Structure 1
Amino acid sequence: MGARWIKISVMYFAIALAFGLFMHYTVQLQWKATHAHIGVLGWLSTGFIGLIYSFYKEAAETALAKAQFWFYNIGLPFLLVGMMMVYLDVPHWLFEFCVSGGGIAVAFSAVLFVVNIFKHVKCTSS
């Protein structure tokens, strides 16, 4: 499971770089919050989750980890597209569906991650 998270994070890294270049060369800096979320939630958080699950393999194979994976990786694209809709002329319901639906899915995924880590990662004393 850890390798999956890391591979997805690398895709978000490439998207963040490309989006940043797009913003720079078109001087459309209003997209900065979306760019930051691609980098932080897409690249950094996803990669860090992958590293944690690579180290704690027993936590990575639980039903909680699998549910977390799907909620996060379905919700995050909706959230990011919804954030871009702020500056586009789209129906308000579509904007709300993407931002709220995606945001709630990502937040729920974060809760599952916290529960999974506390439940399945054991402290060892040396």
Structure 2
Amino acid sequence: MGAKWIKIAVLYFALGIGYGLFMHYTIQLKWAATHAHINLVGWVSAAIIGLIYSVYKDAGETTLAKAQFWLFNIGLPFLLLGMIFIYVDVPRGVMEFCVSGGGSAVALSVVLFVVNVYKNIKPKT
């Protein structure tokens, strides 16, 4: 799973750079929170998780790790879209669904990650 996380992370990295350029050239700084989430949650968090699962391969191959991967990578795009929808004319219910649903999925994936780390990563002797 480590390699999958790292590959997803670099996609978020490219998206974050592109989004930052969009903000710069349009001088639309109201999008800063979304930009930060793309870079910190998408790029940095996913990359660190990928590195951890590359070092501790057994933890990266558990059912918890697989469920975490899918929850994170389905939830985060919804969260990011919802954050964009805050400033775009869409029905409030759509925005709330994306922010709440996506955010909850990402939060649950973090809980699964914590459980997986404590359950399956042992000190090396």
1:31-65 CA distances to partner (integer Å, 9 max, x unpaired)?
Answer: 00000000000100000000000000000000000
In structure 2, give the amino acid aligned to 1:27.
I
Equivalent residue, structure 2, for 1:30: 30
TM-score by structure 1 length? 0.98
User: CA separation in 1, counterparts of 2:26 and 2:88?
Assistant: 16
Identity of aligned residues (%): 66
Equivalent residue, structure 2, for 1:56: 56
- Structure 1: state its 5+ residue gaps: none
User: CA separation in 2, counterparts of 1:111 and 1:90?
Assistant: 31
Query: Which structure 1 residue ranges, 4+ long, deviate > 2 Å from structure 2?
Result: none
User: CA separation in 1, counterparts of 2:64 and 2:113?
Assistant: 7
User: CA separation in 2, counterparts of 1:58 and 1:43?
Assistant: 23
- Structure 2: state its 5+ residue gaps: none
In structure 1, give the amino acid aligned to 2:17.
L
Equivalent residue, structure 2, for 1:75: 75
Q: CA deviation at 1:123?
A: 1.4
Q: CA deviation at 1:124?
A: 3.1
User: CA separation in 2, counterparts of 1:124 and 1:59?
Assistant: 13
Equivalent residue, structure 2, for 1:88: 88
TM-score by structure 2 length? 0.98
User: CA separation in 2, counterparts of 1:65 and 1:42?
Assistant: 17
Q: Aligned pair count?
A: 125
User: CA separation in 2, counterparts of 1:15 and 1:43?
Assistant: 9
Equivalent residue, structure 2, for 1:42: 42
CA RMSD of aligned residues (A): 0.6
In structure 1, give the amino acid aligned to 2:44.
L
